[in-house]
Amino acid sequence: MKLWVTPQGDRWICDECQVNFEKEIKTEGWRVAFEEKSNAMLRCFACKHGDVELFD
């Protein structure tokens, strides 16, 4: 999961969904603020899935 700085605001986007945003990343000049790994609280802007799957 990466935090992207976009013209619409900062957005967490998972690696799987990042592929769908490649055009916007290039044309709008998005940049990565930082990468966060294994944080169960983070949710992807696009798919809304968490970065970590929690098991009960």
pLDDT digits (tens, 9 = 90+) for 6-56: 999 999 999 899 999 999 999 999 999 988 766 778 889 999 988 766 655
Residues in contact with 39: Cβ distance below 8 Å, sequence separation at least 6, in sequence order: 1, 51, 52
Spatial separation of the C-alpha atoms in residues 54 and 56, rounded to whole Å: 7
> Does the pLDDT of residue 4 top 90, yes or no?
yes
pTM listed for this prediction: 0.79
Please give the angle made by the CA atoms of 40, 2 and 9, to the nearest 5 degrees: 105
**What pLDDT was estimated at residue 54?**
60
Classified as helix, coil or strand, 25 is helix
**What pLDDT was estimated at residue 49?**
86
Residue ranges per domain, the chain? 1-56
